[in-house]
Amino acid sequence: MVTQTPPKSKKNPQLVLDIFIWEATQNKEKDLRSMDGASTKGVLSHLSLLEVQARSRKTQPRQPSRVKELKAKAEALMTQRDQLKAEIETHKSLQKLRASMDKQCTHEEEEEEEEEEEEEEEEEEEEMAEDSENSQLLRLMARHTQLKDLLHAHDIIGGYNVIKTRKGKGLCVSLTTAYNGVYLENYNLEMDLKPTLRISRDNIPPFIPLKSLAEQSNMETDIRTLLDPLSQHLNAFAGRKQQLKLVKELHKSVQVMESNALCSLLVLMFTVPREKTAVLCSLEYTDHTRCLPTRVHFECEDKGLPDSPEWKKNGSLLMETPVHKALITMKKMGDIV
Amino acid sequence: MMEKMSEENIEDVRVLEAQIEHLQAEVAALQRQQQDNHKDITFHLRGHMQDAMSYVCGQKQAGEKEKVLSKLTEEVEELEEDLKRQTQMNGISLNSCTTKTLQSSGRQLVQQLCVSGHCSELVFQVEFQLSEVKKGQRSERTISDLNVVMDTSDLQNFSSFLSGVEESRDLLLFFRTLRTFSDRCDDRRRTFQHFQVYSGQMTIEKYPSVVSLPGGCRSAVMTLNHPELPGCVLFVHWSVEVSREGRVTPKIELLTKIPEKALQLFPSQAVSGAAEAFQSLLRILGPEAAVESVIMAVSLSQDT
């Protein structure tokens, strides 16, 4: 790189050499005298002096632009802080609005006169006009959160989540199952609305009598006449299935001899303590809308055992209590291992 | 000259650096507060809601207001429609749902929900804890701490079911049963009201009104009494029973209150055997027709 003027950039230490050369050519006489007969030490010491000067100019803060830099940073932080404050304040306002909306909705239940409600609404509208110009938007936002929560609640309590599909030509229904507080399988129905309401697709297990329930129902006038019994069947099945799962998990000493896909038949083998006799227990669930058996039967080599008072009690227990819970009691009573 | 400038600038720099440190601390504290706010799922804003929030916080131009407002209004209207549809389809009307996030980590979310509403005339308030735990691709949802509040003053047969359902945390069973129970009660009310009107109409023609509902149209009892036979009253007792398991069974019975003297005058089984006879009628004709027959009989109607 050839320079006409002294190189201004001190950032590149390698230019120190250029500076030296330039200065040397400018002060030929001075340097010639010092260089004349001078050892390389003199040249080297001048070179290192220039190097030190160049370095110190690099590390010394550029006062004017440093202040500018810091001012910009401070402004950015202030903007960020104000933005955060605004968001947090808005959040608070939304929470307050939402809380008052919720209160209003619960009280609407108790008020029977519409006149009272209208009066309240008028009062609120007046208040709103006095509020800031954003109050309309804030109310809308609060209502949005309220609606989302209500829709979530419908889902959680086992609602059918009916969605219109294919631009109103179809319907999608979801059936939730749960047992003892545990949410289990979800089943779905896809239906055509035109020309008449009919089921087009489903993932209902084949042993659930969907077709006959649909035929017996009044689904075109009231879809719940199909969905309610269907949900009952599915939830009862899910409950029986869950009970079987719990028996296997919690009662390893009880052997599951037989079960079927619908979980409408369960055969268990108990071991009586002391004598170590085996008792075969059959549970028949002929009512598929229930989680409890319709018949309990014991079989044992000891023919008298099933008629004993303890086992008659166990029979009633198994008819009235879910099997996994009944087994806990039977173990406690010492009737089974 | 250079030195004087350096002095001023060093002072400025120090002041600015201190200010920046203070601001950074403020921002960090506010960010922590905002993170806490975001844990509350209800106010976790996305899409048009986020746009609206940005507008309110002054991040957007004043001209944007109309656009933000109209987009959000459209979305809120869609949600209102959706809610109407769910309410109609589920047969349950919810008027409030408040959630409180108790725990929110990457894998687990625990919320306390309080849901209130009504199913036909039956008002309820349900409170429970909902946990969602991510297990692989699926998430497991469980309910705990279920508490159900209903005005059971006239729902004696419902209260044993309620305590059972709280114990077993069967939230969905509660709502299924509530709806079925409400449907059967509505059946009763419609039938009773129909006969009250029907009997009233008969009055206009020739016969005095024999039907009365002393407890109102939502009660379980309808009385039949011909004014010319003041001591003789027939009661149609229509109860809707709920087992602990959640099975809803309507039970209709005919009870008679006939003075001894009258019974002596009519030794035949016709009067004393009325209760059993009614059960047969029920089996053959169903509730409405059976009740109608009894009303016709009590009205001493000449039309049959």
Q: Which helix (H) or strand (E) holds A19?
A: helix A15-26
Residue A69 in this model has a pLDDT that exceeds 70: yes
Of A289, A291, A249, which is closest to residue A266 (Cα–Cα)? A291
Q: What is the pLDDT of residue B24?
A: 93
Give the whole-angstrom CA distance, residue A167 versus residue A162. Answer: 14
The average pLDDT across B275-296 equals: 86
Kindly state the average pLDDT of the residues A257-273: 94
Chain B residues touching A149 at Cβ < 8 A = 42, 97-99
- CA within 13 Å, CB half, A140: 24
Chain A residues within an 8 Å CB radius of B168? 180-181
User: Taking residues A293-314, what's their average pLDDT?
Assistant: 91
**Residue A121 amino acid letter:** E
In this complex, do B115 and A105 lie within 8 Å of one another by their Cβ atoms? no
Query: Would you say residue A19 has pLDDT above 70?
Result: no
Cross-chain CB nearest to B142 (options A98, A181, A235) = A181
| Nearest CA-CA distance, residue A34 and chain B, Å | 31
Give the gap in angstroms from C-alpha A255 to the nearest C-alpha of chain B.
25
Chain centroid to Cα A78, Å, comes to 34
Task: List the beta bridge partners of residue B116.
Answer: B96, B125
Question: Is a pLDDT exceeding 90 seen at residue A318?
Answer: yes
pLDDT higher than 60, residue A71: yes
Residue B200 has pLDDT above 80, yes or no: no
B179/A162 touch (CB, cutoff 8 Å), yes or no = no
Going by C-beta distance under 8 Å and a sequence separation of 6 or more, which residues neighbour residue B128? B112, B113, B143, B144, B145, B146, B147, B169, B171
Q: Tell me, what's the pLDDT at B43?
A: 75
Strand partners, A161: none
Q: ipTM value, please give it.
A: 0.85
Give the closest of B57, B75, B176 to A144, CB-based.
B75
- Give B36-48 pLDDT, tens digit per residue: 888 777 777 888 8
pLDDT in tens, A136-148: 888 999 999 999 9
B96 interaction partners in chain A (CB closer than 8 Å): 102, 105-106, 146, 150
Write a three-state SS string for A234-278.
Answer: HHHHHHHHHHHHHHHHHCCCCEEEEECCCCCEEEEEEECCCCCCE
Find out whether B114 and B97 touch, Cβ atoms under 8 Å: yes
Q: How confident is the model at residue A233 (pLDDT cuts 50, 70, 90)?
A: very high
Q: What is the largest CA-CA distance in chain B?
A: 134
Give tens-digit pLDDT for B221-266: 988 887 777 788 888 899 999 999 999 999 999 888 877 777 777 6
Choice among A46-55, A178-187, B75-84, B197-206 with the minimum mean pLDDT: B197-206
Per-residue pLDDT, averaged over A178-203, amounts to 93
Q: Do B33 and A88 touch (CB under 8 A)?
A: yes
User: What is the structure's pLDDT at A5?
Assistant: 53
Residue of A nearest to B85 (CA): A162
CA distance A227 to chain B (A): 10
Nearest-Cα distance to chain A for B45, in Å, is 9
Question: What's the confidence (pLDDT) of residue A108?
Answer: 63
| Contacts (Cβ under 8 Å, ≥6 apart) of B281 | B289, B290, B293, B294
Region of A251 please: left (phi>0), alpha (psi -120 to 50) or beta. Answer: beta
Structure tokens at B297: 């009989």
Q: What's the confidence (pLDDT) of residue A3?
A: 46
Q: Does the distance separating the beta carbons of B83 and A147 come in below 8 Å? A: yes
The residues near A279 (Cβ < 8 Å, ≥ 6 apart) are: A269, A270, A271, A272, A298, A299, A300, A305, A311, A336
Task: Please say whether the beta carbons of A87 and B57 come within 8 A.
Answer: yes
Residue A51 has a pLDDT of: 82
pLDDT band at A129 (very low <50, low <70, confident <90, very high): very low
- Indicate if the pLDDT at residue B207 is higher than 50: no
The reply to whether residue A88 touches residue B30, judged by beta carbons under 8 angstroms, is yes
Q: Which of A134, A141, A160 sits opposite B89 (nearest CB)?
A: A160
Question: In chain A, what residues touch B99 (CB-CB under 8 Å)?
Answer: 149, 152
> Is A143 close to B49, i.e. CB distance below 8 A?
no
Q: Please indicate whether residue A10 or residue A330 has the higher confidence score (pLDDT).
A: A330
pLDDT of residue B26: 92
Closest CA to A87 of B99, B216, B52: B52
Q: Is the pLDDT of residue A313 over 50?
A: yes
Pick from B30, B83, B94: which is nearest to A84 by CB? B30
A268 has pLDDT over 80: yes
Name the β-bridge partners of B250.
B240
